[in-house]
Structure 1
Amino acid sequence: MNKLLFALGVSALSPIALAKPIITTSIKPVSMVVAAIAGDKAEIQQIVSSTASPHDFAMRPSDLKKILNADVVVWVGESLERFLEKPLENAGKENSSIEWLALEGMSLHNFAKEHHHDDEGEAEEGHHDDHEAHEDHDHEAHGDHDEHEGHHHDGVDPHVWLSPDNARVLAKAVTARLVSLDAANAEYYNGNLASFEKGLSAKDAEIRSALNKVNSVPYIVFHDGYSYFEQHYGLSHAGEITVSPERKPGAKKVAEIRHEIEEHNVQCVFSEPQFSPAIVKTLLDGTDVNTTPLDPLGAQVKMGTNAYLSFLDSLSGQFLSCLG
């Protein structure tokens, strides 16, 4: 009987003893990097579904619960996920969250300095809130911060997960936080970080070699969100359909893109699976220009410790399939 009682006692206590850190993530690319470090020692709860876009996402009560239950929230930042600002503040999780854009060592791109083709009069029509008129803000490597309040990245391209170098920065920050939350598994997390960095270096070199064969082929993307990937691998971005994926381009912009396709001998116009491809079909009607979906969120990538590497592989494959 004593053994039975002891067994029941252990069984009752085991959920507490075996409780894993809960990491709430904003979008799938964040989850990919977190998963590389967390492995099976932490639980990941993602807010934005893998088939949705953070650009027009609306929070639900179940999403708020994920924030409240989290040991740490990992997100890109308010430039992309403004819907998270108030919930994080209300839950008292703002200062303890990991905001990717604000981490020390990040290399950030300013939209004002990027290549746009909007200066013929339609620039303001399609701009997203986070793209607007902030030319004077310097967004080169940021320091880490404890105070999130008032810390903004207006004008910065928030699609930082498309840079392998920035992924390394987040992986290190996640490792440090998991070690502090779960010191018993510190060796496991640090080992995962070492494996991730080694695998990332190899995958990065492999992709660079493959894309070097098509880096002079001009193309147009659906929305201007690929600058980190494009600059890292030296690709020939010739324009974008819109700077803001939730707003359709006007007639003037459509005519402008058609002109760019002819002038730059564009070989491919990419669509995105998160948005209707109808505008792309309209643009390419009567042309022999290639088109294929380019997925910046990796909706079809299987989650796991190698998910981020698979994501980079998938994205580079999408470029190659249309440009090669």
Structure 2
Amino acid sequence: MIDLTMIWAAIIGFAIIAYVVMDGFDLGIGILFPFFEIGEDRDRAMNSIAPVWDGNETWLVMGVGGLLAAFPLAYAIILPALYAPMIAMLLGLVFRGVAFEFRWRDPGHRAFWDFAFTAGSFIATFAQGLALGALLQGISVENRAYAGGWWEWLSPFSVLTGFGLVVGYSLLGACWLNWKTEGNLQRQAVIYAGRLGIALLLLIGAISLVTLTLEQRYHARWLDFPGVLATAQVPLLTVIATWLFYRSLRLRKDIQPFLWALALFGLCLLGLGISIWPDVIPTRVTIWEAAAPHRSQVFMLVGASIMVPIILAYTAWSYWVFRGKVGKDGYH
């Protein structure tokens, strides 16, 4: 019999990966925005994401909506535990979206909208990192309900993961601008990418080491023999991807640094999967315990099998249409 719970876990996992890939770089550009020269460079940075930024957030809606529909118990536990960072994330995304539109329509207050664009991007990214850290460190669950307090999500570890995601998205943003722009802005993006790559590698190492101390099962998954023979390949591949990333920067490649930065994110997500699988709430609730009834999963799968290919086709088409570099006139 087909395990629909596994299929839905894969669908939601894909939505999360797609969100990180597609919305990570435009949030990163918002975080880096104050470091760009006022005027042409800032305009070109924004124009590089203008055709795609709002569509990128489709995957966030799909991931959260899919969690509610396919794993309602997990949604009912996670949302109360992470109310504060989730509200902060949504407010940041709203503030950022408003700033994106009004920056062009209200040039008299452009400095304010530039600040709003950066603040919204930073808050949304940092809140996502906080939520990830809180989920990894453990959520208090009793009788299939959240049993912790309002501030349980806040800890040194969740703050560390918050800054780790800020640096990671900033790296994606710098690599995107290296790919999509030219001239002074591209040269600046290459410099930032080199510095952010080192910072991200250090943060990945720190977060990975602390994660091993959070739960005994995390430690066992990564270091017990013979499993360590497989899990050791993840840090090895991370080192290789980092070397290839810096090699592509040194050779002044356009798209390769972005792809290798995405590879680093992919390895981080793989490491996360190794640590928590098959739980949806680490060490508390498995995907099968949280799953919706079989009939509900079948009904939703019919809709997903229609809509996901349509979204993918539209997304691919929009990226293809705007595939070139952004010129000094602000157009692709």
**Fold shared, TM-score > 0.5 on shorter chain:** no
Which structure features the higher share of helix residues? 2
TM-score when scaled to structure 1? 0.29
Q: Which has the higher contact order (CA 8 A, sep 6+)?
A: 2
